[in-house]
Every structure is written in structure tokens, then in C-alpha cells.
């Protein structure tokens, strides 16, 4: 095993294996497939340290899985939806191969990525759920804006908003990059930092054509790991 640049980003030199924090079955809590029963594959490691991160337990540890072992685990659950998440999944070399294999198996696959790493090699069958990191995240400088040109109507773009400054920054980015013509755009409030009602009011006041979302898992299960 050798380390990549960035905190706890890892690659296995012995073959097509991935370091996995957890594989679990739950309801999708956000994005276009919100509410659907989904298998989540959480990869270990992330080169970012967002101030509001709720998966810091995925920065380290985990266990090595072969690609076949991951597929076998996913097959235990009767759902067509699979989400590959992290951490930052693309920090691991064989994530691309995993995504390809999941698509080949017929699953509807989404990838949750920070937007800090190149998404160009991700299979076009995958719905890329990409963040743009706002100023209050502490990681705005990590945004890889060249990714925006790669987004299509099959993809999704997410802004996690912590305060009014974040909101105004996000609206400005929508206009600057004409984001609403590229893909579906989601706004969500950072849990316990901005009241969802406040964000909803701002969206309505500005008649902004974004999709407001709340993270269902935080309200159903208090954001317990593996739920």
C-alpha cells in the first residue's frame, strides 16, 4: 500500500482492491433518488477537510475488498440503486473500475464526489453527484472548475450552504457557469448551521430554479453511521 497526495488517500499496489469503510443498505437521503432503498459503498480516505464533514470516521481505517467481494456484498440486497461515496471515492485508483463493474451488472449507479478531483474518466452511465465547495466549507480553493464542462443532464450538482454568504456565492456560480442549463442543481443547508426553513425562504424570494433538499437520514436516524 502506498499513500497518494492528500490526507489518508490510499492505493493498493497488489491488485484491483479498494479500502472500504462500510457497505450498507438504507434509504437514499438526498439527491435525485432520495427515498429509494439503496446500497451504499463508502470508500476510505479523503484529501479534503470540510468544516461541516459528517463522515470523518471514513478518513482512516477500513478494510481491503476485492472488486468481486464488493459486488457479492451488493448482490445481497434487492435494489437497483447503488451509491459509491466516501470520503472521496475518486482518491482511490480502482474506484473507476468499480463503477464500471456496477454499471455492467445493471445497477443504477451514482457517485458522490467532492468536485476536487477529475471526473472525466467516470463511466457515462454513472450519475455524478458533484459538490461545489462553498466558502464556509473551508475548502473552496479545492474546487476543480474544469469538471463543470463535463457535467450533463444525467449528472447532479450540489451546494451545501452554511450561511447567507454561501447562498449568495452559490447563486453567483450558477449564473457564472450557466449551471441550470447543464444539470440538476441541489441546495441543502448545512445541518445545525443553517435552518432549512431559512434556505427555503431565500430560494422562494429569489424564485431560484434549484431543487431544495433535506438529508432524510439525519431526521430518520439522527445520522447514525451505516444508516
Asked if residue 218 has pLDDT above 70, the reply is no
Q: How far is CA 49 from the centre of its chain?
A: 14
Residue 137 covered by a domain: yes
pLDDT score at 132: 98
**The domain spanning residue 127 has which CATH number?**
3.20.20.70
Residue 227 covered by a domain: no
Residue 78 covered by a domain: yes
CB 66 within 8 A of CB 94: no
Residue 129 covered by a domain: yes
Residue 142 covered by a domain: yes
- Give, in order, the Cα–Cα distances in Å from 96 to each of 51, 85, 101, 125, 219: 27, 12, 9, 12, 32
Strands 10-11 and 2-3: antiparallel
Residue 226 covered by a domain: no
User: Structure pTM?
Assistant: 0.89
- Please state the domain count of the chain: 1
Residue 161 covered by a domain: yes
pLDDT, tens only, 187-210: 999 988 899 999 999 999 999 999
C-alpha cell of residue 9: 488517500
pLDDT score at 80: 96
pLDDT, tens only, 51-67: 999 999 999 999 999 99
pLDDT band at 50 (very low <50, low <70, confident <90, very high): very high
Q: How many CB atoms lie under 10 A from the CB of residue 70?
A: 23
Owning domain of residue 47 = 2-220
Residue 199 covered by a domain: yes
Least confident of 6-10, 15-19, 141-145: 6-10
Amino acid at each position: 500500500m502506498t499513500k497518494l497526495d492528500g490526507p489518508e488517500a490510499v492505493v493498493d499496489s497488489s491488485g484491483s482492491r479498494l479500502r472500504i469503510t462500510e457497505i450498507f443498505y438504507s434509504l437514499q437521503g438526498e439527491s435525485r433518488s432520495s427515498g429509494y432503498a439503496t446500497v451504499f459503498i463508502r470508500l476510505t480516505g479523503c484529501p479534503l477537510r470540510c468544516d461541516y464533514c459528517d463522515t470523518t470516521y471514513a478518513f482512516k481505517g477500513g478494510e481491503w475488498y476485492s472488486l468481486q467481494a464488493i459486488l457479492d456484498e451488493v448482490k445481497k440486497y434487492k435494489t437497483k440503486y447503488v451509491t459509491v461515496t466516501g470520503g472521496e471515492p475518486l482518491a482511490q485508483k480502482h474506484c473507476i473500475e468499480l463503477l464500471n463493474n456496477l454499471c455492467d451488472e445493471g445497477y443504477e449507479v451514482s457517485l458522490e464526489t467532492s468536485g476536487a478531483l477529475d471526473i472525466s474518466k467516470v463511466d457515462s452511465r454513472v450519475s455524478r453527484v458533484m459538490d461545489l465547495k462553498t466558502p464556509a466549507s473551508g475548502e473552496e480553493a479545492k474546487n476543480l472548475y474544469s469538471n463543470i464542462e463535463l457535467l450533463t443532464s444525467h449528472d447532479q450538482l450540489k451546494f451545501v450552504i452554511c450561511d447567507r454568504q454561501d447562498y449568495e456565492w452559490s447563486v453567483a456560480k450558477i449564473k457564472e457557469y450557466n449551471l441550470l442549463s447543464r444539470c440538476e442543481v441541489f441546495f441543502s443547508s448545512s445541518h445545525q448551521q443553517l435552518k432549512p426553513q431559512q434556505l427555503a425562504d431565500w430560494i422562494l424570494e429569489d424564485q431560484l430554479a434549484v431543487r431544495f433538499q433535506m438529508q432524510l437520514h439525519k431526521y430518520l436516524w439522527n445520522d447514525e453511521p451505516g444508516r
